[in-house]
């Protein structure tokens, strides 16, 4: 059985192979991370085609600039940062938003339907529509940045020390932001439901 450490070593070696010009490693990186990048991009804009084009652009630029790239321990965070920067620049070029107002960039976390989540994980069938509605209302009370922090940390499992770059904040501010977001979620649930809210975020959101 592959441990988390083994997986880390494997992905780190894959990145190094890519930097060395291995096309198979390049294709594997796209296979491993493009879906997660698409899911992240769709939280920022509903334009699916724009997100897809952005991901393609990111990988093309990565390959052409690979000789100038450095090694990285956290590939997903690196790719997310490259995609977000490119996506925001494209949105700005369309005059959809101002980069100066990045703090208010749209970031929406959608919940899967009861039927869809049950198909993915039978244990999720125990969660009621009322609980889903509670979570949806709780998420609406968060700021876009708080939702993004929750999404990156709990759903995409980005290490906390990688999230500040994605949010354009320092480490302590990011910790405080995430802490405040969790407190807001707790306000919407009884103590016995707090763990359930995190599970819902992990298993019902994409």
Among 75, 102, 129, the domain-final residue is 102
Residue 121 φ/ψ region, left for φ over 0, alpha for ψ in the -120 to 50 degree band, beta for the rest: beta
Q: How far is CA 33 from CA 13, 56, 93, 125, in A?
A: 15, 12, 26, 28
Give the domain CATH number at 166.
1.10.10.10
Total Cβ atoms within 10 A of residue 133: 11
Residues 89 and 114 grouped into a single domain: no
131 and 52, same structural domain? no
Regarding whether 27 and 57 lie in a shared domain, the answer is yes
Instruction: Give the span between the Cα atoms of 85 and 87, in whole angstroms.
Output: 6
Task: Say yes or no: 66 and 45 in one domain.
Answer: yes
Specify the pLDDT at position 127: 57
Do 10 and 88 fall into the same domain? yes
Structural domain span for residue 135: 110-204
Instruction: Quote the DSSP letter at residue 113.
Output: P
> What confidence score (pLDDT) does residue 126 get?
54
Q: Return the DSSP state at 70.
A: P
What confidence score (pLDDT) does residue 21 get? 92
Per-residue confidence (pLDDT) for residue 200, from 0 to 100: 65
CA dihedral over 190, 196, 202, 206, signed as positive or negative: negative
Looking at the structure, tell me whether residues 91 and 123 fall in a common domain.
no
| Same-domain pairing of 141 and 186 | yes
Which pLDDT value is given to residue 37?
97
pLDDT recorded at residue 11: 81
For residues 12 and 57, membership in a common domain is answered with: yes
Are 122 and 178 found together in one domain? Answer: yes
- Of 48, 83, 102, the residue at which a domain comes to its end is 102
User: pTM of the full predicted structure?
Assistant: 0.83
Residue 72 token pair: 């990285």
Q: Residue ranges of the chain with pLDDT lower than 50?
A: 1-3, 5-6, 9, 116-118, 120, 122-125
Same domain, 88 and 8: yes
Q: What CATH number has the domain bearing residue 78?
A: 1.10.1740.10
Residue with tokens 């690979």: 66
Q: Which of 102, 120, 154 is the last residue of a domain?
A: 102
117, 69: one domain: no
Residues 94, 127, single domain; the answer is no
Domain count across the chain: 2
CB atoms within 10 A of CB 31: 9
């Amino acid at each position: 059985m592959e441990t988390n450490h083994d997986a880390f070593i494997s992905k780190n070696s894959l990145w190094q192979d890519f930097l060395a010009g291995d096309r198979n490693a390049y294709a594997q990186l796209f296979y491993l991370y493009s879906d997660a990048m698409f899911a992240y991009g769709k939280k920022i804009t509903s334009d699916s085609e724009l997100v897809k084009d952005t991901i393609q652009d990111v990988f093309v630029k990565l390959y052409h600039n690979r000789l100038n790239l450095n090694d990285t321990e956290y590939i997903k965070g690196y790719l997310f940062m490259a995609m977000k920067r490119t996506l925001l620049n494209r949105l700005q070029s369309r005059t959809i938003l101002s980069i100066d107002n990045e703090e208010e960039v749209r970031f929406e976390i959608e919940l899967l339907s009861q039927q869809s989540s049950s198909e993915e994980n039978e244990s999720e069938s125990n969660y009621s529509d009322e609980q889903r509605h509670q979570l949806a209302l709780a998420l609406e009370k968060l700021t876009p940045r708080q939702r993004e922090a929750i999404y990156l940390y709990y759903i995409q499992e980005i290490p906390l020390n990688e999230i500040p770059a994605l949010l354009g904040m320092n480490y302590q501010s990011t910790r405080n932001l995430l802490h405040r977001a969790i407190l807001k979620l707790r306000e919407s649930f009884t103590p016995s439901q707090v763990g359930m809210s995190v599970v819902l975020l992990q298993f019902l959101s994409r």
